[in-house]
């Protein structure tokens, strides 16, 4: 590691009703991979956005290469060689992949964009991150994981001096994450300085040289990764040790099938899917990106119009034509993309939390505002959602707290069948343990849970049994006792057992 390339001196950043950062001081050495860790709302993403010129500090200063970094905009920071991979994806959805890759710097001649050259360079950048897609495809047709990889391609393809990764593996499969780790290794070898924000402590221990721990907007400590441990990092993050969690629902007798799916198919996405989810069990659904996991959940929820097959809820055949119909039958879906599908960002937290149960909050023709506030307060307290108030705009919350609001919406509705797609994406280790305990408690009280997750340890730890998808087909089912990460990966990748 070299001398300090970035230095934060008494950084304070305030937003209406909340102080995101207060008096934060530490430095990042040239050429190191430096981790930022903390609970949701601790200020990690805010600090990254300050470096990238998206926000400016209210007090204190940032030094870059020994000089004050007075970045008035992301363009100023980019010109200085600072790039950021956002946790919440930021693109122009109606433009093509290639156009998003080269926004503001498209290859041109005589005032015209050189389309063929842009496509050639786009293919090269996409290949660097292991992504094989058509550069002409519109961004809004990509999966969340593909969008994440495109964003990584934007950041690493521009010869940056500093790259900020904010939860870069939150939507990636293990194989895609490995490609990212190889990219980070190449960046470090080229002398690039990396600021790495992640809730995955295994990644922190593997990739980084030092770790700075934030708690409630304050800098707690900076440690060398080689001389610390995940337990110590967690203790500094949340102020208490975090023990191993073992689900209690697995020892209970399961009830009748609350959800039964037979012959579910959607052309080009998945084919002939059949399974049951019983009361009192958590069924994991594992598969690589593109295997059809999310699309199956969407079809059950009534938002996959081309899907065909039969569905039974509580042993009665139903035709789920749209989400309203699914909700009426007691089905809830926590989607993978909370910003586009799980929340209404222009509304406040209270309105988002009660959105799925407005029919139960009416007093005559009008909404019972007192009951609405009571419900919102109850679930805010239960999930420990960090926000100035239930009336705060949900767009202003950290990613993890937005996820809690999106989950609370279905808990408030008291759905019997819950489909949870990446339920702990972007959630800190303390909140992750709380959500795991909550999912277990929901199963233990007799609900049926379909758990979709790219986090294989999460699937292995929580699931009663695991269904495995490969290229849109169910290729195996493993009981909790026989499931291992290696067996899952082999089935997911269609690699025969040795």
pLDDT digits (tens, 9 = 90+) for 154-166: 777 777 899 999 8
- pLDDT tens profile 408-423: 999 999 999 999 999 9
How far apart CA 184 and CA 192 sit, in angstroms, is: 9
- pLDDT tens profile 135-154: 888 888 887 778 878 878 87
- Please give the pLDDT value at position 424: 86
Using DSSP's 3-state secondary structure scheme, residue 29 falls into strand
Confidence of residue 87 (pLDDT cuts 50, 70, 90): low
- pLDDT tens profile 340-365: 888 999 999 999 999 999 888 887 78
- pLDDT tens profile 450-482: 999 988 888 999 999 999 998 899 999 999 999
- Please give the pLDDT value at position 1: 55
Residue 118, pLDDT > 80, answer yes
Residue 399, pLDDT > 80, answer no
Among the residue ranges 106-110, 122-126, 191-195, 279-283, the one predicted with the least confidence is 106-110
Instruction: Identify the residue whose tokens are 């992504």.
Output: 131
Instruction: Please answer whether residues 483 and 460 qualify as being in contact, where contact means their C-beta atoms are separated by less than 8 angstroms.
Output: yes
How far apart CA 197 and CA 200 sit, in angstroms, is: 9
Residue 496, pLDDT > 80, answer no
Element (H, E) at 166: strand 162-166
- pLDDT tens profile 58-75: 999 999 998 998 888 888
Among the residue ranges 28-42, 166-180, 464-478, the one predicted with the least confidence is 166-180
Using DSSP's 3-state secondary structure scheme, residue 421 falls into strand
The pTM assigned to this predicted structure is 0.68
Confidence of residue 220 (pLDDT cuts 50, 70, 90): very high
Q: Would you give the DSSP letter of residue 348?
A: B
């Amino acid at each position: 590691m070299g001398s300090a390339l970035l230095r934060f001196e008494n950084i304070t950043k305030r937003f209406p009703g909340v102080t995101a950062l207060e008096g934060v001081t530490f430095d990042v050495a040239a050429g190191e991979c430096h981790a930022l860790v903390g609970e949701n709302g601790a200020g990690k993403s805010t600090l990254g956005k300050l470096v990238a010129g998206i926000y400016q500090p209210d007090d204190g200063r940032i030094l870059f290469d020994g000089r004050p970094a007075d970045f008035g905009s992301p363009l100023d920071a980019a010109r200085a060689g600072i790039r950021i991979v956002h946790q919440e994806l930021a693109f122009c959805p109606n433009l093509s992949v290639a156009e998003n890759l080269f926004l503001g710097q498209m290859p041109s001649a005589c005032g015209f964009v050189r389309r063929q050259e842009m496509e050639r360079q786009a293919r090269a950048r996409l290949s660097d991150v292991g992504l094989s897609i058509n550069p002409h495809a519109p961004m809004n047709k990509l999966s969340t994981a593909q969008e994440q990889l495109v964003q990584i391609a934007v950041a690493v393809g521009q010869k940056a001096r500093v790259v900020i990764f904010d939860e870069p593996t939150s939507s990636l499969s293990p194989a895609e994450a490995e490609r990212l780790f190889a990219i980070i290794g190449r960046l470090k070898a080229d002398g690039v300085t990396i600021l790495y924000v992640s809730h995955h402590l295994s990644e922190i221990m593997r990739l980084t040289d030092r770790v700075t721990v934030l708690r409630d907007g304050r800098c707690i400590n900076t440690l060398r990764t080689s001389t610390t441990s995940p337990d110590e990092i967690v203790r500094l993050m949340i102020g208490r040790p975090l023990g191993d969690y073992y689900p209690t629902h697995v020892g209970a007798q399961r009830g009748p099938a609350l959800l039964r799916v037979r012959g579910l198919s959607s052309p080009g996405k998945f084919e002939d899917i059949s399974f049951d989810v019983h009361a009192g069990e958590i069924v994991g659904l594992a598969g690589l990106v593109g295997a059809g996991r999310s699309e199956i959940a969407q079809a059950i929820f009534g938002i996959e119009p081309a899907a065909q097959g039969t569905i039974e809820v509580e042993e009665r055949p139903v035709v789920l034509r749209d989400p309203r119909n699914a909700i009426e039958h007691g089905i809830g879906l926590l989607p993978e993309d909370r910003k586009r599908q799980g929340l209404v960002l222009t509304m406040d937290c209270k309105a988002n939390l009660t959105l799925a149960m407005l029919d139960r909050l009416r007093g005559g023709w009008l909404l019972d505002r007192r009951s609405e506030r009571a419900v919102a307060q109850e679930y805010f307290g239960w999930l420990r959602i960090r926000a100035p108030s239930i009336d705060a705009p949900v767009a202003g919350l950290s990613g993890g707290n937005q996820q809690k609001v999106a989950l609370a919406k279905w808990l408030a509705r008291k759905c019997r069948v819950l489909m949870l797609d990446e339920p702990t994406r972007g959630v800190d280790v303390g909140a992750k343990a709380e959500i795991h305990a909550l999912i277990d408690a929901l199963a233990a009280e007799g609900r049926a849970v379909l758990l979709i997750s790219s986090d294989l340890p999460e699937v292995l730890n929580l699931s009663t049994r695991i269904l495995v998808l490969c290229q849109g087909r169910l290729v195996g089912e493993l009981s909790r006792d026989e499931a291992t990460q290696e067996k899952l990966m082999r089935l997911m990748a269609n690699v025969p057992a040795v």
